[in-house]
């Protein structure tokens, strides 16, 4: 009997990497579900190759086009549309493991559905932990689901923790977590040059081939801020016990410092197939199809402190992590709106952190009582961020 893996976000970089690993181990895994937000062409090819029982797309129009193309090609995969349908497939009885790789807030419902159904949840959708971390961990603990992080930094920490560790609880004997950051494309740029950066420059990551939104987040260091919040949730640690260090080579993926002074680190080539293969096979190990690490060729490993003056988004995220609860959902929403406005050329790169700061100064806080509270905080912050962006686009001050 093979293990059924649902790949949610299959046309993105993590989803494609997951399918590459699964293809190396067809005797062990099958793929009953594929889901994507866009790229009908890619999903058609994936359905042809992996023959899933179900395929889902975000919009009805895209789903109709997918179904037409599949039928024309003689592929019998059934097609559904919408977030509710994806959430239902994540909990389907054919599914054992769920790769939660739908980016942004759009991945929240299906991630929670997989957790509630007691699946092995391979968490690549960091926004679920950022927006609804308390709710996610309550759901995981109530259902008995297994949660294994996929972000290279959090997966590295997971690998360096005691075998007895369970997500959401502080690991025994740990003093501090150190998240590594590549520094993004603007590591050595001046504040003035960063403020004037273009979308093409912000998306030109020196190490990783990622989607546009996460690439911009890497350029602002907001991605590392979101990972700090996620680490606080997953590993039961306060924001003050989690540090960020810039490591341009992206070989050390994170470190765990213990009370006795020992520091454990996970090293690997910068390839997302490494954490994907780990999560699929844990507690065992399988081939990932990656280039093995050559430390002699790498030559050196550098570590630097991030500059909060040039990258203020990291400070905003740390403040939200200290507050916990709904402010984390508000931060994520404000960032999504600001980044999209920048990509649409309606906002300057240097205005992204200013929009986030303006929104965080106006939103209501509060405890994370349930999904509706999370979605309400998300909606409020999106509306406020959209107002701030509109003011900036019309030439007004962001802080008006």
List, as own/partner pairs, every contact residues 267-274 make where C-beta atoms lie below 8 angstroms and the sequence separation is at least 24, other chains included: 267/293, 267/295, 268/152, 268/293, 269/293, 270/152, 270/207, 270/208, 271/17, 272/13, 272/14, 272/17, 272/150, 272/152, 272/208, 273/17, 273/20, 273/21, 274/152, 274/155
With H, G, I as helix, E, B as strand and everything else as coil, classify residue 206: coil
Contact between residue 368 and residue 132 where contact means Cβ atoms under 8 Å apart: yes
Determine the pLDDT at residue 340: 97
Spell out, as residue ranges, where the chain has pLDDT lower than 50: none
325-400 CATH, one of 1.10.238.10, 2.40.33.10, 1.10.1740.10, 2.40.430.10: 1.10.1740.10
Contact between residue 140 and residue 121 where contact means Cβ atoms under 8 Å apart: yes
* Domain 3-150 part of CATH 3.40.50.300: no
pLDDT in tens, 116-168: 999 999 999 988 999 999 999 999 999 999 999 999 999 999 999 999 999 99
- Where do the structural domains in the chain lie, given as residue ranges? 3-150, 325-400
Please choose, from the candidates 227, 267, 237, the residue with its C-alpha nearest in 3D space to the C-alpha of residue 173. 237
pLDDT in tens, 48-66: 999 999 999 999 999 999 9
């Amino acid at each position: 009997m093979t293990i059924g893996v649902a790949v949610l976000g299959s046309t993105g970089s993590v989803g494609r990497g997951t399918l590459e690993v699964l293809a190396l181990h067809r005797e062990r895994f099958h793929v009953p579900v594929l889901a994507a937000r866009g790229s009908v062409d890619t999903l058609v090819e994936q359905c042809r190759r992996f023959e899933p029982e179900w395929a889902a797309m975000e919009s009805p129009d895209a789903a109709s086009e997918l179904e037409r193309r599949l039928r024309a090609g003689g592929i019998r995969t059934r097609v559904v549309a919408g977030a509710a349908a994806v959430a239902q497939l994540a909990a389907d009885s054919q599914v054992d493991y769920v790769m939660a790789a739908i980016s942004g807030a759009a991945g929240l419902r299906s991630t929670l559905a997989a957790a509630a159904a007691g699946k092995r949840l391979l968490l690549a959708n960091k926004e679920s932990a950022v927006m609804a971390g308390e709710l996610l961990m309550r759901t995981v603990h109530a259902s008995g689901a297994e949660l294994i992080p996929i972000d290279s930094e959090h997966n590295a920490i997971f690998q360096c923790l005691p075998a007895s560790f369970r997500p959401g609880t502080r690991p025994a004997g740990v003093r501090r977590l150190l998240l590594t950051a590549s520094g993004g494309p603007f590591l050595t740029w001046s504040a003035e040059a960063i403020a004037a950066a273009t979308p093409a420059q912000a998306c030109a990551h020196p190490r990783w081939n990622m989607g546009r939104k996460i690439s911009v987040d890497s350029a602002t260091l907001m991605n590392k801020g979101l990972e700090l919040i996620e680490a606080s949730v997953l590993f039961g640690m306060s924001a003050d016990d989690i540090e960020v260090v810039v490591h341009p080579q992206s070989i050390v993926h994170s470190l765990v410092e213990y009370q006795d002074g020992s520091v454990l680190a996970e090293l690997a080539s910068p390839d997302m197939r490494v954490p994907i293969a780990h999560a699929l096979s844990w507690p065992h190990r399988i081939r990932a199809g990656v280039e093995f690490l050559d430390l002699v060729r790498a030559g050196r490993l550098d570590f630097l402190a991030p500059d909060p003056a040039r990258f203020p988004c990291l400070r905003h995220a740390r403040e939200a992590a200290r507050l916990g609860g709904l402010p984390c959902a508000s931060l994520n929403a404000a960032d999504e709106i600001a980044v999209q406005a920048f990509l649409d050329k309606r906002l300057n790169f240097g205005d992204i952190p200013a929009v986030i700061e303006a929104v965080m100064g106006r939103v209501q806080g509060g405890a994370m009582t349930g999904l509706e509270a999370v979605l309400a905080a998300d909606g409020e912050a999106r509306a406020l961020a959209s107002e701030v962006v509109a003011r900036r686009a019309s030439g007004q001050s962001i802080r008006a």
